[in-house]
Amino acid sequence: MGRLDGKVAIVTGGGSGFGKATSLLWAKEGAKVVIADWVAEGGEATVKEIKDAGGEATFVKVDVSKPKDVRMMVKTTVDTYGKLDILYNNAGVGVVGNLVTEITEEQWNRCVGINLTAVWLGMKYAIPEMLRQGGGVIISTASICGFTVSPGVSAEYNAAKAGVIMLTKTAAADFAEQNIRVNCICPGHCLTPMVEKWASGNEEALNEVHRRQLIGRMGRPEEIAQAALFLACDETSSFITGEALVVDGGHTIVARKGYINKK
């Protein structure tokens, strides 16, 4: 028996990184997974991988920063599978650094729209469905950048991720009595396609980031997926809500000097 047998879940950004790893794991544990992503190629590839392994999945092309797309995503899920038990607000974009005074309005709005507004939209349209069925679970991807400044990371990203943490706590307080648990995960440095894009093939830069982690390496998407499974499963986390679970290999407990600057 899988730990998520009978559950229906949405994973935004399910075509790569944390979202793909989580979708594969949740499907393995018995969930029916709706893969929501802006990049159809990645999302459809995740669905195929799940189906090839004997699981159930559906792809929906979504711009998570647009209300009409998020409404459609939730409606498609309920129309297809009859309910919605778990929402993982995971889609995001990374930003490498400008000074506060150098950020353009377009850069700010895009980053905040995808990393924060989309999380609110997911909650706004998923929670009414969960209320109708008597409860549910919401998980969002925040970041250690939500409570500590990382050199080279731009202010709009830090602000958006801090907002995800407080939005999580507020939503948890709003709906705890209605049996809806709301938590977020704060990953540290992990080897995702976003980080690989930042490195642009610079192995020296990647090796330096690995070395400067407290445990000597960056995290893997599969390790974040395990944290998401823990928070999604009532057997393991039924008494946890409003929390920001840090999964960072100890990065935030020790001040490290000499962060690499790829430039």
Rounded CA gap, 247 and 189, in Å?
A: 9
Percent over 90 (pLDDT), the chain:
77
Q: What are the C-alpha distances in Å from 18 to residues 79, 106, 228, 242?
A: 26, 26, 9, 21
State both tokens at 230.
Answer: 């823990």
Instruction: Show Cβ contacts of residue 163 under 8 Å, excluding neighbours closer than 6 positions.
Output: 112, 116, 146
Q: What is the pLDDT of residue 258?
A: 46
Percent over 70 (pLDDT), the chain:
93
Over residues 124-149, mean pLDDT: 96
* Domain chopping of the chain, boundaries: 8-253
Among residues 208, 164, 210, which one has the least CA distance to residue 186? 164
Say whether pLDDT at 260 is over 60.
no
Structural contact between residues 115 and 167, judged by C-beta atoms closer than 8 angstroms: no
The catalytic residue among 88, 125, 157, 259 is: 157
Q: Which CATH architecture has domain 8-253?
A: 3-Layer(aba) Sandwich (3.40)
Largest CA distance in the chain: 54
Rounded CA gap, 221 and 189, in Å?
A: 10
Q: What is the pLDDT of residue 201?
A: 67
What do you get for the CA distance between the two ends of the chain, in Å? Answer: 50
pLDDT tier for residue 255 given thresholds of 50, 70 and 90: low
Over residues 89-109, mean pLDDT: 90
State both tokens at 93.
Answer: 């974009």
Q: At what angle do helices 155-175 and 105-112 cross, to 10 degrees?
A: 30
Q: What is the pLDDT of residues 62-92, one digit of tens each?
A: 999 999 999 999 999 999 999 999 999 999 9
Among residues 66, 80, 91, which one has the least CA distance to residue 33? 80
Catalytic annotation present for 157: yes
pLDDT tier for residue 191 given thresholds of 50, 70 and 90: confident
Mean pLDDT, the chain, whole residue set: 92
Position with higher pLDDT, 240 vs 195: 240
Over residues 183-205, mean pLDDT: 78
Q: What is the CA radius of gyration of the chain?
A: 18
Q: What is the pLDDT of residue 190?
A: 84
Q: What is the pLDDT of residue 257?
A: 46
